[in-house]
Chains A and B, each alone.
Chain A
Amino acid sequence: MPRILVADDTETIRMLLSVALQAEGYSVVTAPNGSEAYSTGIEQKIDLAILDHLMPGLLGLEVLEKWVAEGITFPVIMLSGVDEEATVLECLRMGATDFVRKPFRVNELIARISLALSRQHSI
């Protein structure tokens, strides 16, 4: 059962995605801020992370940067209300697999997660 980290400071999103992903057969672990997201990504076995950009503690981009420096191998999908092209490009350059803008469609996000995981397995 793939294990997915949902890191977002909005409780509604953490809960919504936990329920939706569990219904799809994924195991879910959540983090309410950047620091916890970083440590969870390093300490636990994660298959994919959904990372908000604007979080307390560490920004999503900073978490991603630190993960990349640590050599993480799981795909990271950024989920953010930030719509600036520069931020989107920076996240993708930094190594994010995908960037989904808020507000979002849960079904679309699940499809992107499934695609990212199948690509990861085929590598």
Chain B
Amino acid sequence: MTGLEILRLTVILIFASNAVLLTVLLTYKGLNRRRTLAHARRRSAYIAVLSQHLSASGEGVRLGKRVAEDEAFLDAVIDLRTVLVGQEASEITDLVDRYGISEQQAAKLDDSRNVGQRLRAAVALAELADESAAHVLLDHLTDKEPEIRIQCARGLARMRWTPAIGVILKQLEHETPWVRSRFADSLITFGPSATWPLIAYIKSNHRLGNRGVPTAIRTLAAIGDPEAIGPTIEILDDANDIEIQLAAVETLGVLGVGPDIYPIEKAARSEDWRLRAKASKALSGINDEAILPTLAIGLHDINWWVRRNAAGALASTLQGREILYSTILGDDAHARDAAAEALADAGEVIAARERIANGLGATRDFDLIEYVEGRKVLTT
């Protein structure tokens, strides 16, 4: 065989194998498309049948037992459960029970070797939020697949299965930041029933360098239960870890500070500028003379965020605004800018202009306008 013949044979082989691969690929794509379309058609048909079932108050339609094995039926049930409430949603739940859909998905989650199928089962169980599957979801909170763990936590939260709170919390430390944040979303779904388990978890773990504690503290802020204010202040006062202190101050900034402001004041004088900035923000709106000196110091801070937040907090009270007005006449140019911006944001510049226009302008009104116009501070 000559060299030319070998080359020709090689080219033919390459073309032939490419043609085979292309045919296989096109056939696979075609089949997949056909399967997707057939699934969509069956899903639509099931929605129509289930809608008739609902219109006839659950007596109109008989479906064979095997529909429970059809994923299109599962999708239709989930879609309807998502858009309905009340009696109609209960009727769909009855169907889920009657056809053993949860049991079937739970068995898939437990037994299937296909990760995709297990994940789909976990998503379905999370969407259905059927309590009969709670124990399976609880078992799979420690599944080796992160997305399955996330779906299990979501499902348990959607069914408000409170025994799961402790298990989710126990997992927090060992999870990646992504899974941890999704677990936190589930804890938020539990609402105030997660407040005290979270507080107990934080108090038991915040000295142990547990990586889940800051997430747990921020979860309290998202839940928004005022019961958490006192314990969060205690944690802030007790913690040495800067991440925990930051999370606690952020949370107090959302929940409100409560009567014991000393730990936040202390944080506003921290060596860490992030803590000073967040603490200054948390002190906003508190009508207590005791915090004014701390905020006044913050107004002269070396860090822009601290100055801005301290000025914003001072602008939220009448006495604080007096400090801002006097700062405009001071020597510290950065503090003057922060004070003028905060007064502008609080509507003082507009008010001062109106007073001047009406012949009622005081000296400080003229000082503020002169400063704002001279420094070109952004006014509202």
A interface list, Cβ under 8 A from B? 10-13, 15-16, 18-20, 23, 102-108
Contacts and interface: CB of A to CB of B under 8 A. Distances in A.
B42 to A, nearest CB: 13
Interface in B66-103: 76, 79-80, 82-89
Contacts, number: 54
A12 B80 contact: yes
A106 B54 contact: yes
A106 B87 CA distance: 9
A104 B84 contact: yes
Contacts of B303: none
Nearest to B82: A103
Given A23-B52, A23-B55, A105 B83 contact: no
The 7 closest A-B pairs by CB, nearest first: A19-B51, A23-B55, A12-B79, A105-B86, A103-B85, A16-B51, A15-B47
B83 A20 contact: no
B44 interface: yes
Given A12-B79, A15-B51, A23-B52, 11 more contacts: A12-B80, A13-B83, A18-B51, A23-B55, A23-B56, A105-B86, A105-B88, A106-B54, A106-B84, A106-B88, A107-B86
Q: A13, A20, A103, A105: which has the most chain B beta carbons within 10 Å? A: A103
Contacts of A18: 51
Nearest to B45: A15
Interface majority SS (helix, strand, loop, mixed), chain A = helix
B85 A105 contact: yes
Contacts of B44: 11, 15
B80 A16 contact: yes
B86 A10 contact: no
Given A11-B47, A15-B48, A16-B47, A104 B83 contact: yes
B83 A16 contact: yes
Nearest to B84: A103
A105 B55 contact: no
29 contacts: A11-B44, A12-B79, A13-B83, A15-B47, A15-B48, A15-B51, A16-B47, A16-B51, A16-B84, A19-B51, A19-B52, A19-B54, A19-B55, A20-B54, A23-B52, A103-B82, A103-B85, A103-B89, A104-B83, A105-B84, A105-B86, A105-B87, A105-B88, A106-B54, A106-B55, A106-B84, A107-B86, A107-B87, A108-B86
A16 B76 CA distance: 11
A16 B89 contact: no
Given A11-B47, A15-B44, A15-B48, A103 B55 contact: no
A15 B82 CA distance: 14
B83 A12 contact: yes
Nearest to A102: B83
Contacts of B88: 105-107
A18 B82 CA distance: 17
Q: A16, A103, A105, A106: which has the most chain B beta carbons within 10 Å? A: A16
Contacts of A108: 86
A20 B84 contact: no
Contact of A12 (B47, B52, B55, B89): B47
Contacts of A103: 82-85, 89
Nearest to B51: A19
A12 B44 CA distance: 8
Nearest to A10: B83
B51 A20 contact: yes
Nearest to A12: B79
